[in-house]
Amino acid sequence: MGIQFSQLTNQQLIKQLTLDLEQQQCRFIVTANPEIVLYARKHFEYATILKQADLITADGIGIVIGAKLLGQPLPERVTGFDTLQQLLKVAEKKQKSVYFLGARATVLNTALKNIQRQYPKLIIAGYHDGYYQSAAEIGQTIKQLQPDIVLVALGFPKQETFISQYAAGTHAIWMGVGGSFDVIAGKVKRAPLFWQKHHIEWCYRLLQEPSRLPRMLALPKYLLLVLGQKFHLVH
């Protein structure tokens, strides 16, 4: 559907990113869910930004099902949240620094406290909330700080747009992580493992935040589109 998803498993991705960190490669990682796929189909500029990504992972069971239906199966779901946790673990172990951008200031502060508790030896290069005046200033600060990892929690399409503008020329792994800081701060709860394992995490999220219903309608819309493509009804 116009998006080239990575075939890597969670484990393979972390192995690759660990190598990239050691080699100080500049990387742009997107974790895309059905909402992102639909948005990119309607917004050419955003689709162009996604084409610049080094790696796009299947963030959600919808993408895995869609890929299977279209005869191009993906090994498993690779979520932004899990990748973020694994990256922080690697960063702490290898003493690589991380910059955190995004979320409300209070949420970000709580998230950082929780992260420091969980990863006491993690090097935090810097941070800023996601409600800033000048993106250029923040981009410039990040360049000067030279972190090894930049986590951008602005939600799509803002986070990918930001990364596409400021990642060039750095030696960092940049990844859009959506609402992950809200989860780390405890503002939003991630579904317990039972819901995750049975692929109904989306249902848990909906029960927690019913106001997300219009956004979540992206999932059935996306699956209908996949079926349309499968039977050559739409392009």
Q: Under the rule (CB under 6 A), what is the footprint of ligand UDP?
A: 102-104, 130-131, 153-156, 158, 178-179, 181-182
Nearest CA-CA partner of 222 in 79, 5, 62, 94: 62
Q: How many CB atoms lie within 10 A of CB 89?
A: 14
Largest CA distance in the chain: 54
CA 205 – CA 225 distance, rounded (Å): 23
Closer by beta carbon to ligand UDP, 55 or else 108: 108
The least distance separating ligand UDP from the CB of residue 174, rounded to whole angstroms, comes to 15
Closest residue by beta carbon to ligand UDP: 130
The least distance separating ligand UDP from the CB of residue 230, rounded to whole angstroms, comes to 27
Q: Which two tokens stand for residue 139?
A: 């981009």
CA 123 – CA 32 distance, rounded (Å): 27
Closer by beta carbon to ligand UDP, 21 or else 101: 101
Kindly give the pairing relationship between strand 97-102 and strand 27-32.
unpaired
The least distance separating ligand UDP from the CB of residue 175, rounded to whole angstroms, comes to 12
The least distance separating ligand UDP from the CB of residue 24, rounded to whole angstroms, comes to 27
Closer by beta carbon to ligand UDP, 21 or else 40: 40
Closer by beta carbon to ligand UDP, 21 or else 53: 53
The least distance separating ligand UDP from the CB of residue 20, rounded to whole angstroms, comes to 23
Is 59 strand, coil or helix? coil
